[in-house]
Amino acid sequence: MEDYMKSNLDRWNEMVAIHERSAFYDVPGFKAGRITVSQLERDELGDMSGKSLLHLQCHFGMDTMSWARLGARVTGVDYSDKAIGLAQSLAGELGIEASFVCSNIYALPNDDLIPARFDIVYTALGVLGWLPDLQHWAKVIAHYLKPGGTFYILEAHPFMFTLDESSPDFTVVYPYFSLEALKFEAEHSYASDEKLVNKTEYGWNHSFSEIINSLISQGLTIEFLHEFPFCGWNYFKEMEKGDDQWHYLKDESKRALVPLMFSLKATRR
């Protein structure tokens, strides 16, 4: 497992500089004031003014800092030291008050690193597949939530990750119940055509029951679960970005056939 995580970390560290200069992330637009969190997330979480927020798996922090622009007091966590370094640099350059901590989720909770408790624990878009163990993930969430605090996730749908991304016929090729790591060889990041040295990555699929029950086991109450026919990136080749910035299947007749994304909100008792 340590070898899998190290391989992924090497890949993510290499991708940080590539993502910083990619059109996908549009760092110049962010520097000019763009809010990177979606209107969907903002509507479902509500007014953030004065609320404390912990962002797990924050990459280089643009979403974290976007919540700060919307009024929250924010802390971002990621295991990539390159990503955290860039996040701290951007926050300093832009004068955004935000704290960033470099830590693997499996090294948390650690009150020396993060002593606070938060109104909101947040994570989004392409996060769960990098985690082999959701029970520990849920333990971290519950630990850092204040009583009555909110956990929120917006993520690709578990069923979508079973499907062949190169096939227009929704062929199931990956296990829904992932008992072992899935190994992939990819020359490019999802955000750029630049070639990578670190081509190997490992991922884990998680069923809805695993996601939900891990949270329930830590004393969280599910407030809602929403499913959507669009995604945050082009998972399938035959997709296009809509006016709302979400990615849809080009063939409108197929859009109701499979779920592509979900959101979940839970409360700590």
User: Would you state the pLDDT for residue 1?
Assistant: 81
Beta strand 73-78 with 52-56 is parallel
* Structure confidence at residue 269 (pLDDT): 87
pLDDT tens-digit profile of 59-75?
A: 999 999 999 999 999 99
> Which tens digits make up the pLDDT trace of 246-258?
999 999 999 999 9
Structure confidence at residue 148 (pLDDT) = 97
- Mean pLDDT computed over every residue of the chain: 96
Confidence of residue 245 (pLDDT cuts 50, 70, 90): very high
- pLDDT, position 253: 93
Average pLDDT, stretch 34-48?
Answer: 97
What was the pLDDT predicted at 11? 98
Tens digits of per-residue pLDDT, 121-136? 999 999 999 999 999 9
Residue 198: CB atoms within 10 Å: 15
* Nearest residue to 212 via CA among 223, 197, 228, 202: 223
Q: For residue range 151-197, what is the model confidence (pLDDT) as tens digits?
A: 999 999 999 999 999 887 899 999 999 779 999 999 999 999 999 99
What pLDDT score was predicted for residue 123? 98
Q: Which CATH architecture best describes the domain 2-268?
A: 3-Layer(aba) Sandwich (3.40)
Tens-place pLDDT, residues 87-100 = 999 999 999 999 99
| Beta carbons of 40 and 154 less than 8 angstroms apart | yes
- The per-residue pLDDT for 233 is 92
Q: Helices 81-94 and 2-20: crossing angle, nearest 10°? A: 30
Share of the chain above pLDDT 90, in %: 96
**pTM for the predicted model, two decimal places:** 0.96
Joined tokens for residue 234? 């082009």
Contact 137, 217 (CB under 8 A): no
One-character DSSP codes across the chain = -HHHHHHHHHHHHHHHHHHHT-TTT-HHHHHTT---S-HHHHHHH---TT-EEEEES-TTSHHHHHHHHTT-EEEEEES-HHHHHHHHHHHHHHT--EEEEE--GGG---TTT----EEEEEEESS-GGG-S-HHHHHHHHHHHEEEEEEEEEEEE-TTGGGB-TT-TT--B-S-SS--SPEEEE-SB-TT--PBPS--EEEE----HHHHHHHHHHTTEEEEEEEEES-BSS--SSSEEE-TTS-EEESSGGGTTTS--EEEEEEEE-
Q: What distance in Å separates the CA atoms of residue 260 and residue 241, rounded to the nearest whole number?
A: 14
Give tens-digit pLDDT for 21-35.
999 999 999 999 999
Residue 240 pairs in a beta bridge with 248
pLDDT confidence of residue 2: 87
50 — pLDDT class (breaks 50, 70, 90): very high
> What are the boundaries of each domain within the chain?
2-268
